[in-house]
Chains A and B, each alone.
Chain A
Amino acid sequence: MIFALKRLVALAVTLMVASVLVFFVVEVVPGDPAAYMLGLNAAPDTVSALRSELGLDRTGFARWFEWISGMLVGDFGVSYTYRTEISTMVLDRVVVSLPLAIYALLLAVVIAFPAGVLAASHRRGVGDTAVMGFTQIGVAIPNFWFAMLLVLVFAIHWRWFPSGGFPGWSGGAFDALKALTLPAIALALPQAAILARVLRSSLLDTLGQDYIRTARAKGLSPRATLWKHALRNAMIPVLTIVGLQFSFLLAGAIIIENVFYLPGLGRLIFQAISSRDLVVVESVVMLLVFAVVVVTFVVDLAYAWIDPRLRR
């Protein structure tokens, strides 16, 4: 309990400092945010109108405070370009990004686990060599290029899947999932390669520990030793990577969303950056930071669940 509380406090502090940093980078460093948002050819009175709309005449601290207290109650502000509530825009995008991230992560885990366990339990064998070879290539493939190849083969050549776009969930889950399948595969494969390698090396480390020998001396078979004694101990580095990957998949799908023209969070932020809509940029970045920090917190709790030594 105390452990969880401590982590919660750390989480709050990280979020606080991160918000200052985001605010600083977006609103203070580039100079006048209003002039930046409107570009070089803006008329002076348009700029000053925007200045007063954004409340730029007030101190930076007051603006930061208003922004952050607004976000705490779910008020993310209004997009300058689209003139809509940012919270509704975000909500529209989350229903694409979150399922995509979960889909990709599940795929990655489902592929990586058997591969990692197989490789570790038959070290230097045929299975190990094959897994290591495939993962070596998987790690090296840029996911957006892999996505292009998938489109070429499965969407254009064989027409099994749409090559892009998202029909929405209202038309049924099947079509929606179908539209997310190629992007999810493109995201998942390189992640699966990383995960399988981490699982393998962590398992091999664990299998070299003294307590594995103790378990074997009890008369446990190598397979039972792996499942009952090694796997749980090997999970800490694996969990770390899974946590990082989930955060990455949530926000890092930007490029993949571009390839498949998916209306996700990544595309929202990318469009906001291109159209210089700073209010959207800072709010969405902050939201993503929040997601990363929460995932890290959950992973920390999972560590303690796995390893009693960490329950302090």
Chain B
Amino acid sequence: MRRTAAAIGVFLVALLVVMALLSLVWTPYDVTRLAIPDKLQTPGAAHWLGTDHFGRDILSMLMVGARTSISVALIAVGIGLGAGVPLGLLAASGAGGWIDEAVMRFNDLVFAFPALVIAILITAVYGPGAVNAMIAIGIFNVPVFARLTRGAALALWPREFVLAARVAGKGSLRISVEHILPNLSNLLIVQSTIQFSLGILAEAGLSYVGLGAQPPIPSWGRMLAESQTLITLSPHVAIFPGLAIVVSVLGLNLLGDTLRDKLDPRLTHER
């Protein structure tokens, strides 16, 4: 059961990555070319997944859309890791001090905002687009990683191997990098896959309301938005982009669970 789940996870994620990479060099059809005569074709030999209302090949659009999803989610996770992990390490190394207090209050503050509303606000005020979507989603990853890192690091600081490093004359910065961070890596990898899949969902939501990647760049969320009025006529236009999202997120979650079991971050599991 567990093995099967792991295999499915690895397969789905690999499929997602291969589709995205392949789209850089080749897609079955050009996604920017409109071919109205071919519109709304059902899946068949010429168009495996059919065509949309502009006659564009859905499979090709899904492949290019995968690239958008991956890049937005990846950079959003990068923002979360890049800012959250140092903040968490810093907060834990001066535990009880004002840095810790400030970081934790900042976290509470960000958590107090309804994430989706703020993401919509940011993309609306600063202009819709993939870059602002990355930033809007990334901001909410910062407290997630900061809190996780701080909690796990706090559990490590009183450990005797950290005391031993202090007895060896090492400062708190060095200890954070040499001793704390390596012992958090498993936890961070697992959380990253979770945030990555949440990022894909968030990107889909934003582009569904028109605030993600802008045309002509295809994105799964916008494909769904455009298909909404056609759903009775041609359900396949709405079904395939949705399936693409489900399959990607499912694959990433299964992969995350597998990593959690394999890497076993129990060492730092004291929250």
Stretch of A87-95, A104-112, A288-296 with 4 or more beta carbons under 8 angstroms from chain B: A288-296
- Which residues of A from 32 to 46 have beta carbons under 8 Å from B? 36
Interface membership of A79, Cβ < 8 A: no
Closest to B252 in A: A140
Contact of B117 among A30, A151, A288 (CB under 8 A): A288
14 additional A-B pairs beyond A142-B201, A142-B204, beta carbons within 8 Å, are A14-B108, A14-B109, A25-B121, A30-B125, A136-B250, A137-B250, A139-B253, A140-B246, A144-B205, A148-B224, A149-B238, A255-B116, A270-B209, A274-B124
* Docked CA distance A274–B5 (Å): 43
- Which residue of B120, B204, B254 is within 8 Å of A136 (Cβ)? B254
Per the bound structure, the CA–CA distance linking A296 and B204 in Å amounts to: 28
| Of A14, A255, A273, the contact of B208 (CB 8 Å cutoff) | A255
User: A285 an interface residue at 8 Å Cβ cutoff?
Assistant: yes
Q: Shortest Cβ distance from A42 into chain B, in angstroms?
A: 17
- Which residues of chain A are near B224, meaning CB under 8 Å? 142, 144-145, 148
Complexed CA–CA distance, A258 and B232 (Å): 18
**Which residues on the A side are within 8 Å of B204 (C-beta)?**
142, 145
Taken together as a complex, chains A and B put the C-alpha atoms of A147 and B89 apart, in Å, by 41
- Bound Cα distance A142, B250 (Å): 11
Contact of B125 among A26, A252, A259 (CB under 8 A): A26
Q: Are A152 and B231 CB-contacts (below 8 A) given A254-B209, A270-B209? A: yes
Interchain CB contact under 8 A, A18 and B113: yes
Write the chain A residue with the least CB distance to B120: A273
Pairs across A and B, CB under 8 Å, 10 listed: A30-B125, A30-B126, A141-B245, A142-B208, A142-B224, A142-B245, A149-B239, A152-B238, A285-B113, A292-B114
Kindly report which residue of chain A lies nearest to residue B250, judged by CB atoms: A140
Residues of B within 8 A of A285 (CB): 113-114, 117-118, 121
> How many residues on B have C-beta within 8 angstroms of the other chain's C-beta atoms?
41
- Give complex CA distance A180, B85 in Å: 41
Check if A18 sits within 8 Å of B112, measured CB to CB. Answer: yes
Bound complex: CA A254 to CA B116 (Å): 8
B114, B208, B238, B241 interface centre (most CB from chain A within 10 Å): B114
Closest residue to B228 on the A side, CB-wise? A148
CA gap between A188 and B116 in the complex, in Å: 17
Q: Do A251 and B116 touch (CB < 8 A)?
A: yes
Cβ of A72 < 8 Å from any Cβ of B? no
Contact status A270-B120, CB under 8 Å: yes
User: With the chains together, A136 CA to B246 CA distance in Å?
Assistant: 10
- Interface residue? B1 (CB, 8 A): yes
Question: Is B249 in contact with chain A by the CB < 8 A criterion?
Answer: yes
A274 to B118, CA, bound (A): 14
Q: How close is A252's CB to chain B, nearest CB, in angstroms? A: 5
What secondary structure prevails in chain A residues at the interface with B?
Answer: helix
Q: Does A17 contact B (CB under 8 A)?
A: yes
Q: Is B182 an interface residue (CB 8 A)?
A: no
- A269 near B250 with CB under 8 A, answer no
Contact present for A248 and B114 (CB under 8 Å): yes
* Contact A247 B121, CB 8 Å, known A145-B242, A259-B228: no
Is B197 located at the chain interface by the 8 A CB criterion?
yes
- Is B115 an interface residue when CB atoms closer than 8 A count as contact? yes
**Closest residue of chain B to A144, judged by CB?**
B208
A137 to B121, CA, bound (A): 30
Shortest beta-carbon distance, A158 to chain B, in Å?
Answer: 13
Give 1 or 0 for each of B79-122: 1 = CB within 8 Å of chain A CB: 00000000000000000000000000100110111111110111
Q: Which residue of A lies closest to B198 (CB)?
A: A139
Q: How far is the CA of A108 from the CA of B173 in the complex (A)?
A: 45
User: B173-217, CB under 8 A of A: which get 1 and which 0?
Assistant: 000000000000000000000000100010011001100000000
Q: How far is the CB of A212 from chain B (nearest CB, A)?
A: 19
Query: Does A310 interact with chain B (Cβ within 8 Å)?
Result: no
Tell me, in angstroms, the Cα distance from A255 to B209 when the chains sit together: 7
The reply to whether the CB of B171 lies closer than 8 angstroms to some CB of chain A is no
Tell me the complex Cα distance, A26–B209, Å. 20
Query: 3 shortest A-B CB distances, which residue pairs?
Result: A251-B114, A145-B242, A140-B249
Question: If A254-B117, A254-B209, A258-B209 touch, does A148 touch B109 (CB 8 Å cutoff)?
Answer: no
Residue of B nearest to A253 (CB): B116
B242 and A25 form a contact (CB under 8 A): no
Contacts of B115 in A (CB 8 A): 248, 252
Task: Specify the chain A residue showing the minimal Cβ separation from B224.
Answer: A145
